[in-house]
Amino acid sequence: MQIKSLKLLPVSLTFKQPFVSAHETLSQRNLLLVQVVDELGNQGLGELEAFEQPYYSSETLVGAKKIIEHTLAPTLTNFCFDNPCQIQTLWQKVRGNNFAQAAVETAIWAAFAQRQQQPLRTIIAQSAGSSTNSSIHTGISLGLSDLKTTTNQVQQALNQGYQKIKIKINGNADLKRLASIRQRFIHAPLMADANGSLTLTPDLASNIDQLNLIMIEDPFGPQDLRNSHILQKQMSTPICFDEPITSVAAALNALYFQQCQIISCKISALGGITPVIQLIQAQRQYHFPLWCGAMLEGGIGRALNLAVASLNNFNFPSDIAETKRYYQKDLTQEKFELQEGKIILPTATGLGVQLLPSYQKQLHNLPSLI
């Protein structure tokens, strides 16, 4: 297999309502579509998920785009391979820049699945030595809001059949809002995501344990591993690491040093499908809880997440909401909707989705980087 064309298309998706976290408030989700075409004409699409500001990660949308243009794309010229896992060997000298690598690497995996005339989820499952499901239970992520709004959102999510409800919080004081929600929904499958906004205090562990959460994600910043270790030792609620997980080694170190108990697998943050497969293989060996996280992706990224989340290795529902959840207009012709609490996965080859014609036309008119 050889990549003969690589194109980049900036796109901007508008939120139906601003999405607020401890990091920032987003009204627009600016992304970069990656299209690759092999020598047989098979097409693969990827999505650059880096944010504009360096709040979630030090890697930004502008910087990642330049890395793709000037570092990653040139290495693909005249490179022949049998399996997309071999792409990683091209970029061994590249430190970090996982979002840039993932955007290109996942597009190549999608083209490879198209070439094999198989759904991408089937190809990933075969590579991971796993099996895949045709439908999955899924969860939803609720941005920061006032108590009344969040309460209404939780009720709506439960009515829709979401199997896990992640609530964004900001600071220790916000645990009171979460406590009020728990009193209203005693048995709801709730988790919290602090995005590193908490402060270690003597009563923090007990305050979190009283909430009866599935888990709490990233209580402290990604470098504050010591406090995560202390807090996890003090409470029974599992800590989940998301932002600190930039490699398989980072995940295994966090578990070994008891800084967390659960790992959130984010394809872009890890650097693509190949490291996801490696993480799944590590889970098979070390038996730690794992689930597939999401990053407010557009339709291409959502289809990729669904393909990965369909594997039988994940212990909790992902955060892959319905297509209509976030954006006024998405990228793909296909619309994913909950059916009895599940999302049905596409059966077509490759990613199983197609871009809207307007984006297809724009890509057609762009020059290739290789």
| Strand spans (E) along 39-112 | 43-48
| pLDDT for 340 beyond 90 | no
Per-residue model confidence (pLDDT) at position 365: 93
Q: Model confidence at 94, in pLDDT bands (50, 70, 90)? A: very high
CB 193 within 8 A of CB 208: no
Phi, psi of 322 (to 5 degrees): -60, 155
User: Domains of the chain: which residue ranges?
Assistant: 3-116+355-364, 125-344
Q: Is 166 a catalytic residue?
A: no
Which are the contacts of 148, defined by CB distance < 8 A and separation ≥ 6?
none
Residue of 363, 349, 357 whose CA lies nearest to 116: 349
Angle between helices 299-309 and 120-128 (to 10 degrees): 40
> Could you give the strand order of the β-sheet that contains 190-193, starting from the edge strand earlier in sequence?
140-142, 165-168, 190-193, 216-217, 239-241, 262-265, 290-292
User: CATH classification of 125-344 is 3.40.50.720, yes or no?
Assistant: no
User: CATH classification of 3-116+355-364 is 3.30.750.24, yes or no?
Assistant: no
What's the angle, vertex CA 119, arms to CA 364 and CA 314, rounded to 5? 120
The alpha carbon dihedral of 154, 160, 163, 168 has a sign of negative
Render pLDDT for 167-193 as a digit per residue (tens, 0 to 9). Answer: 999 999 999 999 999 999 999 999 999
| pLDDT for 273 beyond 90 | yes
Share above pLDDT 70 across residues of the chain, in percent, rounded to a whole number: 100
Per-residue model confidence (pLDDT) at position 160: 93
Per-residue model confidence (pLDDT) at position 175: 97
The catalytic position among 65, 164, 166, 168 is 168
The alpha carbon dihedral of 176, 165, 326, 152 has a sign of negative
Rounded to a whole number of angstroms, the CA Rg of the chain reads 20
258-261 long-range contacts, CB within 8 A, separation 24+: 258/229, 258/232, 258/233, 259/225, 259/228, 259/229, 259/232, 260/228, 260/232, 261/215, 261/232, 261/288, 261/289
Q: Model confidence at 321, in pLDDT bands (50, 70, 90)? A: confident
Q: Which helix (H) or strand (E) holds 229?
A: helix 225-234
For the purposes of burial, counting CB atoms within 10 Å of the CB of 342, is it exposed (0-12), middle (13-18) or buried (19 or more)? Answer: middle
| pLDDT for 122 beyond 90 | yes
Angle between helices 175-184 and 147-160 (to 10 degrees): 40
Tokens representing 164 are 């896990």
Q: Model confidence at 282, in pLDDT bands (50, 70, 90)? A: very high
Q: Model confidence at 145, in pLDDT bands (50, 70, 90)? A: very high
CB 16 within 8 A of CB 27: no
Q: How far apart are CA 84 and CA 217, in angstroms?
A: 31
The catalytic position among 65, 164, 166, 266 is 266
Per-residue model confidence (pLDDT) at position 123: 97
Tell me the average pLDDT of the chain: 96
Render pLDDT for 191-223 as a digit per residue (tens, 0 to 9). Answer: 999 999 999 999 999 999 999 999 999 999 999
Q: Model confidence at 341, in pLDDT bands (50, 70, 90)? A: confident
What's the angle, vertex CA 49, arms to CA 197 and CA 155, rounded to 5? 55
Residue of 171, 203, 192, 189 whose CA lies nearest to 242: 192
Q: How far apart are CA 297 and CA 48, in angstroms?
A: 9
Q: Is 233 a catalytic residue?
A: no
